[in-house]
Chains A and B, each alone.
Chain A
């Protein structure tokens, strides 16, 4: 297999794109709940006053997602990985991220 063919079929870049999306979703969930639970964090996340803490939550999420995508792409660019494991990890990250954005679950965690 030529280097070019190997590069075209390597699933490392796919794994990087999939996992980084999960990391983005997880980051969004974590920032949502800590912003909700701690007023100091909410204040720190208030990047743009009209939108409030949501501006920090979403801006940081986008940065974390893109940086993790870039980093994983550099690490895995030429490699072939077990994609099922990556899918599983991504699924778990998304599920946790989704739960952490769901207000009744957030309240439950905070004992409200």
Chain B
């Protein structure tokens, strides 16, 4: 059982930071719903507000880490240009996808959209974390502001979902692999 360095970084980018970010949206949605659901809804205490603010700040941090790791570590491996005459494109995912009419769309639409769209999430979530830290206990009575926060959270969730979906499909069709090999365990070959 082995994994390459590029595999590992891609897994950390998508399956750790990205997937963890998607999971955390449930907490943000539950908090917003509890505050907005009814006229007798929940108003957080100052210590609860502090906890939610930290939670949202961690979400923003997860989103920033995911996009920076994706754009500045994984993406350069994805878009690497093969030397002239290279026939085996396994180490050049972008070129591998573009070499087949059945997979070129994963690059032309999937990656081309994902590489930009994903950045909406950290920007939105940073604003959400700030708004909660500044107005948390007052959000209950500030309807327009609550709507803005809900909209930003929804936008961040949608962009993270779309980017995550395309990331998974891209890696399924043309995995980012290579670099040093990390052997996790050895078994007996049969």
Which of A65, A83, A97, A102 is close to B144, meaning CB atoms less than 8 Å apart? A83
Which of A18, A20, A54 is close to B71, meaning CB atoms less than 8 Å apart? A54
Q: Which of B71, B108, B126, B148 has the most CB of A within 10 A?
A: B148
Contact-size category for B: 20 to 34
Q: B130, A94: Cβ atoms under 8 Å?
A: no
Q: Which of B103-124 contact A (CB under 8 A)?
A: 108-109, 112-113, 115-117, 119-120, 123-124
Taking CB atoms, residues of chain B closer than 8 Å to A103 are 108-109, 112-113
Q: A18, B134: Cβ atoms under 8 Å?
A: no
Q: B152, A18: Cβ atoms under 8 Å?
A: yes
Stretch at the interface among B1-9, B14-22, B23-31, B72-80: B72-80
Interface size on A, residues (CB 8 A): 37
Residue on A with the closest CB to B72?
A: A51
Interface string of A3-30 (1 = CB under 8 A from B): 0000011010110011011001100110
Bound: A100/B108 CA distance, A:
14
Q: A51, B145: Cβ atoms under 8 Å?
A: no
Q: Summarize B's interface: helix, strand, loop or mixed.
A: helix
Nearest chain B CB to A41 CB, angstrom units: 15
Q: Which of A61-112 contact B (CB under 8 A)?
A: 61, 65, 83-84, 86-87, 90-91, 94, 97-98, 101-104
Nearest chain B CB to A55 CB, angstrom units: 7
Nearest chain B CB to A29 CB, angstrom units: 8
Q: A101, B79: Cβ atoms under 8 Å?
A: no
Which of A11, A29, A65, A101 is close to B123, meaning CB atoms less than 8 Å apart? A65
Taking CB atoms, residues of chain B closer than 8 Å to A8 are 138
Q: B71, A11: Cβ atoms under 8 Å?
A: no
Bound: A100/B109 CA distance, A:
13
- The 4 A-B pairs with the shortest beta carbon distances in the complex, nearest first, are A50-B76, A83-B144, A101-B116, A21-B127
Q: A51-B71, A54-B71 are in contact. List 9 more A-B contacts (CB 8 A).
A: A9-B138, A14-B134, A21-B127, A29-B116, A51-B76, A54-B116, A94-B120, A94-B155, A101-B116
List 18 A-B pairs, Cβ < 8 Å. Answer: A9-B138, A14-B131, A18-B127, A18-B148, A21-B124, A21-B127, A28-B119, A50-B75, A51-B72, A55-B72, A58-B119, A83-B144, A83-B148, A87-B148, A90-B148, A97-B120, A103-B108, A103-B113
Give residues in B with beta carbon < 8 Å to A. 67, 71-72, 75-76, 79, 108-109, 112-113, 115-117, 119-120, 123-124, 126-127, 130-131, 134-135, 138, 142, 144-145, 147-148, 151-152, 155
